[in-house]
Structure 1
């Protein structure tokens, strides 16, 4: 889960679900059909915000996928907000420029949004490809025994 929850009981004996605030620099992908894709959101001052796609490129997308441990420097594809719905709330990062060595997107060079030069129609998104999917099958009928291994890398749809 992207947010951990806990149930608490308050004075009138009603239970409420409380959300643990995000930690600055955390990332999540929102609006995708799988855990490997979505609009990029970053936690800043314990609030989720989107990332402007100005200057957004494959290196930036790779840092996102690696930070989320959804990829290992392979199989990433930059996608844009219209694929995953339009974000809400603040837009924090603009003109992101990662070298590829960063462990977290927040550590990449960037500008903070100070004037309205970006809107949610310009939110950044990613598709992270799993590095590989392995299928192993063993079948034994006397002399027949085989092992099949597939390694698949996705580079788009």
Structure 2
């Protein structure tokens, strides 16, 4: 029986182009760094399924790349490389694929849907050149401006040393989640079109669409594509994050100088200056949007007077690169061995305080 079975299998493979009563309607790549790389999945009978890597080669990948309007085929990595893996509920819907490499879609290739010995451990993957890769270099940096704090404001991205506003038509809540994470803010609260002229930007508008999953660490990691839209500055994106580590400077002559206070459990408290230095100043000034930190003498820093109430933080240690004081090491909230005579004071470059006075 075994030889006869093998012969029947070989014959059926020759005619696999007719095995599908309804051929796959769509193809996508899942889990890759961009839309042109990932685990191969096809839409079949209303559900997304995977493709077995039996016989999977660069000709097959070339057809997938062409169907997705990606660039040249670069590789045939296993689909298990891409995370998260296919769910157990997903079926492996294609056992074998045979393309010449010249087809326009995967459905035009010879496909075998008689899946008999393939698991998700054998899912096929594909790597294509990303035609949108030039757009990724536009996201050198991101900021929120003209808001009440560093975690709320109009979205702007830096490209070629110039800040550009972002059109709301190419933005969504998932992109906002990534920005909030990148800026060291809390969860994304909302994103909407700027509502009045005072919150509108000037200059160039970034005409691209973000396709973030919301789990990326940096906006650069999100797939980007061209946006076909006639946006104006009335369409600028405004977004807000929850700032879990709100700061303020009190007692100075500008909002960028004064005694440092942090908000915790609804109450403002001070920070002890044990271990405090220039790097910690830099983080505070950055978080408040006050430019670079100045590092004056201890006498100048004490000129803001002692605080009152709780001393929330002690022994704060930063590298200077953090976007928020929350990311620095510190003792548990409320634990300290200080008095208010040791309250931290900070002076940032935007301050007009005369240090020689």
Give the C-alpha shift of residue 94 in structure 1: 1.6
Offset at 1:35?
1.5
CA distance in 2, matches of 1:102, 1:48: 21
1:26-65 aligned within 5 A:
26-65=26-65
Q: Deviations over 1:64-121 (max 9, x none)?
A: 01100011xx342111122113323111112200011211112211211342x10000
1:82 aligns with 2:80: yes
Q: 1:131 to 1:33 in 2, by over 3 A?
A: closer
Label 1:123 to 1:114 Cα distance change in 2 as closer, same or farther (>3 A): closer
Contact 1:40 1:50 in 2 (8 A): yes
Superposition deviation, residue 134 in structure 1: 6.7
Q: How do 1:2-151 residues align onto structure 2 when only pairs under 5 Å count? A: 24-71=24-71, 74-85=72-83, 86-88=85-87, 89-115=90-116, 117-130=117-130
The 3-state SS of whatever aligns with 2:59 is helix
Bigger RCO of structures 1 and 2 (CA < 8 A, at least 6 apart): 1
CA displacement at 1:25 relative to structure 2 = 1.9
- Number of residue-to-residue matches in the alignment: 110
More divergent stretch after superposition (28-37 vs 119-128):
28-37
SS of equivalent residue, structure 2 residue 54: coil
Extract structure 1 runs of 4+ deviating beyond 4 A: 131-135
CA RMSD of aligned residues (A): 2.2
Q: Check the 8 A contact 1:25/1:104 in 2, yes or no.
A: no
Residues 75 and 84 from structure 1, CA distance in 2 versus in 1: closer, same or farther, beyond 3 angstroms?
same
State the SS of the aligned residue for 1:66.
helix
Structure number with the higher strand fraction is: 1
Q: What is the CA–CA distance in structure 2 between the aligned matches of 1:101 and 1:124, rounded to whole Å? A: 19
Structure with greater Cα Rg: 2
| Cα distance in structure 1, aligned partners of 2:63 and 2:37 | 14
Residues 101 and 133 of structure 1: CA distance in aligned 2, closer, same or farther (over 3 Å):
same
Q: Unaligned regions of 5+ residues in structure 2, if any?
A: 1-22, 136-357
- Flag the structure with higher helix content: 2
Q: TM-score, normalised by structure 2?
A: 0.29
TM-score under structure 1 length normalisation: 0.63
Unpaired runs of at least 5, structure 1? 1-22, 136-157
Q: Please tell me whether the aligned partners of residues 24 and 43 of structure 2 are also in contact (alpha carbons under 8 angstroms).
A: yes
